[in-house]
Amino acid sequence: MRRRLTLLVAATMCLVLLAFLVPLAVLLRRVAVDRATNSAVAAVQSVAALVGSADPDALRFSVEQVAAESHRPVTVFLADGSVLGTPAPRTDAVTLAARGRSVTVDRPDGREVVVAVQRRPGETAVIRTFVTAAELDRGVRRAWLLLAALGATLLLLGLVVADRLARALVRPIAELSAVSHRLARADLSARATPTGPPELREVAGALNHLAGRIQELLRDEREQVADLSHRLRTPLTALRLESEALTDRAEAARITAAVDALERAVTGLIRQARRYGPTGADGWCDAAPVVLDRVEFWSVLAEETGRTITSELVAGPLPVRLPTDELAALVDALLGNIFAHTPDGTGFSVTLVPRAGGGAVLTVADHGPGLPRPLVEPGRTDTGAPADASVDAGPVATPVRRGGSFAGSTGLGLDIADRAARDSGGALHLADNAEGGARIRVELGPPPSDPA
């Protein structure tokens, strides 16, 4: 915008300068020509007063004197054919003037001034002088150079002023853009300084009001989530007391462990809801023991429902850019979907392998009915790229939408996994399994630096 404003001012000034300087240059050229011509005419007129009365000898002396003083050729053609003064050819203009007509003729090398003077009745003398082209253009080139310098100076000053004005206009716009980008990165403390024209000050005020309103709404939402999560502590405490009252110690230990895991999840939810600033994973963990722990937890329920678990988990370490509780929530969301949306007896597999470039790849596949058809678009990945047949067989899913479900659920399970994967610097890929069922592959990025 700053460059466009400067170019606009430059184009406008160029047009104005051309409209002003070109006619002025032409006028200066005309003034120089008229000045030289008038000087020549004055020299001729000083001789014309002597032509009618002086004798040839006196006239010859006067003509030579005028030519010397005016530094120009002056010639007198008498009716008897005599030529006085500077030798010159009898041109067509001289022949025409001998008939009693004074003329001025422009030639390529200058201007010829011819004056007819009545010497005696029936006898016409002709006075001729010549103005060279150099004399006609004397001072014109210097004047044009001065005009060009003046025009360039005015144009330069105009560009400097235009640049200052454009900078004063663009600076508030750039600040508004920077503030909007900070707000997009969840820096809700960003505020714009109302400067510049009234319209930009109004936009800055509106942006500040919007940022404040977003901050208020987000604060209210987080407080409500935190309060709701905090209310869950009471039933959790009751569950813990009930589990401790069980006579079967193994069953009591299993239920107590489940309550502890749920309490950790609630505590993490409260901590995350009360945290302000940019979102995203700010910790790391070793994915191998976390995934192994969650698989063992769900193995008990799988055994009760007749499901077969096939696991292929590397021993690690596999550092990933996710805190332990968030990775555990991701695994629970994926495995919980299998138990919720496939019939009892449906087997599934869990694979955890290193990721090229660091991190890990978690794959959960089942042999159930597969993903709902509205989620699947043949030949496209969730990023719009063609499916990789070496990794995912069959059609692949469209992007996960929060709250969108085609199986009667809340639609948050896959969103939790997708958000955790993106926070770690990875991605979530959905596909139909080659043997039937669904195949979910989660790429988890490595920590930003060596955790050791």
Spell out the per-residue pLDDT of the chain, length 452, in tens: 677 878 888 888 888 888 888 898 889 888 988 888 888 888 888 887 777 666 777 878 888 888 888 788 888 888 778 888 888 888 888 888 888 888 888 888 888 888 888 777 777 888 888 888 888 888 888 988 998 898 899 889 988 888 888 887 788 888 888 888 888 887 878 888 888 778 888 888 898 888 888 888 877 777 676 666 656 666 766 777 677 777 777 777 778 777 777 777 776 666 665 554 444 445 788 899 999 988 888 888 888 888 888 888 988 788 998 888 888 888 888 888 888 788 888 889 999 999 988 889 999 998 888 776 555 444 433 433 333 333 343 444 444 544 444 444 445 667 778 888 888 888 888 888 777 788 899 999 888 765 54
Pair 421, 428: CB distance under 8 Å: yes
pLDDT recorded at residue 404: 46
- Exposed (0-12), middle (13-18) or buried (19+): which is 446, by Cβ within 10 Å? buried
pLDDT recorded at residue 38: 87
Pair 429, 440: CB distance under 8 Å: yes
First to last CA, the chain: 49
pLDDT recorded at residue 279: 43
Distances (CA, A) of 449 to 84, 96, 278, 358, 425: 106, 103, 19, 11, 13
pLDDT recorded at residue 282: 56
- The 83-85 sheet, strands edge to edge: 83-85, 74-77, 123-132, 110-120, 103-107
pLDDT recorded at residue 375: 52
Give dist(CA 328, CA 322) in Å, integer.
10
pLDDT recorded at residue 235: 73
Give dist(CA 123, CA 76) in Å, integer.
13
Its pTM stands at 0.44
Domains of the chain listed by start with CATH number: 2-138 (3.30.450.20), 142-231 (no CATH), 280-444 (3.30.565.10)
Strand, helix or coil for residue 346:
coil
pLDDT recorded at residue 269: 65
For 76, residues 6+ apart whose C-beta sits below 8 A from its C-beta are 47, 51, 59, 63, 83, 84, 85, 125, 126, 127, 128
Give dist(CA 321, CA 9) in Å, integer.
53
Give dist(CA 114, CA 105) in Å, integer.
8
pLDDT recorded at residue 61: 82
pLDDT recorded at residue 53: 67
Give dist(CA 330, CA 319) in Å, integer.
16
User: Side chain identity at 418, as an amino acid letter?
Assistant: D
